[in-house]
Structure 1
Amino acid sequence: MKRGIYTVRSAKGSADTAATMTLRQTCFRAGSTTPDDDRFDTACQHMLVMTGDTLVASCRTQTFADPGSLPTGYTAQFYDLTPLQTMPGPMIELGRFCLHPDHADPDIVRLAWGALTQMVDQTQAQLLFGCSSFPGADAHVHSAPLGYLAQRHLGPDALRPGKRAAETIDLRSLPPPAQPPTLPPLLKTYLAMGGWVSDHAVPDRDLNTTHVFAALEIARIPAARARALRALSG
């Protein structure tokens, strides 16, 4: 799949794996010598957005054909996903979405979402979900966007995940900001398409981030946005 100077494709071979891990380390473990890999990588597909031979974005996805297997995924380490197991159909977990800091072209994110749309159509997935992160593990630094999420974008009571992490921040305990705050690109796209978030955030000391659970029910994507995404996916 291609848009302008960018191409999206699946990772293949050791060179792609090395490039992906280098980008992930830059985005999630800057200044650390610890590689950003984990036991979930082998169960995932890895998607790359390239310009020429340069990797500008990547993410990984895991498809759960049976909602009963959700507890085996990455997100389930931090959130109790039992409520989601009542939903029908396959689900796709999206993780480690990262953009190269020197490449801020919005077409990169658009192309990635076009590829995800193609994946959703191929698997007939009913839900796209994952952890959506803010940089820095001090959740109170993010009180403005988290308070905004609590005011505008909490998920339905019947589907919101419960608490599993030892350390959590109740979003509803934070005051809403006077002005809409800046949100991370991935989360902003989730919400623009009708997505929702958990009622709590989790500080991740390992990655030095604070994340919320984010979900997008495919059936609730506005028709105009769904058409635009499918146009991107070709």
Structure 2
Amino acid sequence: MLNLKKGRYVARLAEGPEDIRAAQDLRTLAFLGHAGGDRRDADEFDAICAHILVEDTRDGRLVCCFRILPLTGGQEIGRSYSARYYELSSLEQFEGPMVEMGRFCIHPDVKDPDILRVAWGAMTAYVDRNGVELLFGCSSFKGIDADQYLDAFAMLKERHLAPKRWLPRVKAPRVFPFARKLRRKPDAKLAMLRMPPLLRTYLMMGGWVSDHAVVDAQMNTLHVFTGLEINAIPPARKRLLRATTG
């Protein structure tokens, strides 16, 4: 059973309905901007996913969470949350075990970079333990105004598009086709400032993205499909990640 401690934070698997509800409450706050009411971030995937919680050991406060859906290979990718928004038939040919990482969020009032490190350490431990070969999910930009992220999208187009053999195709009714639409040269500094932290980490490890962003008005996000082939992670990056799991 996963239980990883680093500094003042501990990552663990959710153990029951109360833990899952706590994760849903944090997601509601992070994604929808409120901490109660009738509308909460919960769906049918919660019942079939494992949930990882990162807590502050000083007071037990939940500061980060995400959920993982293990798949035996590409033939099961149609079961994923991402398949609702992206046409993923190209990835049906991927033969190794894969995991969808979803609903990743950090408490909006907490800014400690160690939280992201512990979360990735927990994910790395899971990947190593289960022989995962592809990690994927949807990486979200806050809001649906693409204009504030043009340098980030131009950077994704220039350096980080998925290999053609794995490239997702358009399925969602509203998308921003940045790879086709943008002609600008990205300002690298602005691009990285506007890039979501989770996506930055994917990219630093060699991750790649779809050529379009889905406009998700319900969640008030723009998101790109993101994939990371574990065997392609540079050795130095792997060492850094595994140092967090020790």
Where on the TM-score scale, by shorter chain, does this alignment land: which range?
A: over 0.9
Between 157-166 and 167-176, report the one with greater CA deviation.
167-176
In the alignment, the residues of structure 1 paired with residue 240 and residue 149 of structure 2 have an alpha-carbon distance, to the nearest angstrom, of 31
What displacement does 1:155 show? 1.2
* Aligned residue among 103, 125, 142 for 2:149: 142
Q: Which among 66, 76, 87 is matched to residue 59 of structure 1? A: 66
Q: 1:203 matched to which residue of 2?
A: 215
Partner of 1:131: 138
What pairs with 1:36-47 in structure 2 (closer than 5 Å)? Answer: 36-47=41-52
**Aligned residues of 2:73 and 2:94 also touching (Cα < 8 A):** no
Residues 1:19 and 2:22 are matched in the alignment: yes
Q: 1:228 aligns with which of 204, 216, 240?
A: 240
Helix, strand or coil: the match of 2:44? coil
Q: Which segments of 5 or more consecutive residues in structure 2 lack a partner in the other structure?
A: none
Between 1:181-190 and 1:171-180, the stretch displaced more is 171-180
Select which of 107, 112, 129 maps to 1:122: 129
Deviation at 1:223, TM superposition (A): 0.5
Distance in 2 of aligned mates of 1:75 and 1:176: 29
Q: CA deviation at 1:88?
A: 1.6
Range that drifts further, 146-155 or 56-65? 146-155
Compute the displacement of 1:176 (Å).
3.3
Matched to 2:53, the amino acid is L
Which residue does the alignment assign to 1:176? Answer: 185
Corresponding residue number in structure 1 for 2:199: 187
Q: CA deviation at 1:219?
A: 0.5
| TM-superposition CA deviations, 1:108-152 (whole Å, max 9, x none) | 111111111111112211100000000002223322211121111
Separation (CA, whole Å) in 1 of partners of 2:86 and 2:17: 32
Q: The residue matched to 1:40 in structure 2 has which SS?
A: helix
Give, in whole Å, the separation in 1 of the partners of 2:148 and 2:173: 19
Q: How far does residue 22 in structure 1 lie from its aligned partner after superposition? A: 1.1
Q: Which of 41, 55, 69 is the equivalent residue of 2:76?
A: 69
Cα deviations by residue, 1:138-183 (Å, 9 ceiling, x for unpaired): 2233222111211111111111111111111112212233343221
Q: Deviations over 1:48-99 (max 9, x none)?
A: 0000210000000000013211111100001111111111211000000000
Native 8 Å contact 2:205 2:228 kept in 1: yes
1:24–1:96 contact (8 Å) kept in structure 2: yes
Q: Which of 1, 7, 18 is 2:10 aligned to?
A: 7
Contact preservation (8 Å) 1:139, 1:203:
no
Q: How far apart are the structure 1 equivalents of 2:91 and 2:103?
A: 21
Q: Which of 230, 237, 243 is equivalent to 1:218? A: 230
CA displacement 1:178-225 (0-9 Å, x = unmatched): 343221110000000011111111110110000001111101000111
1:30 corresponds to which of 30, 33, 44: 33
For 1:22, what is the secondary structure of its paired residue? helix
What letter is aligned with 1:233? T
Aligned to 2:113: 106
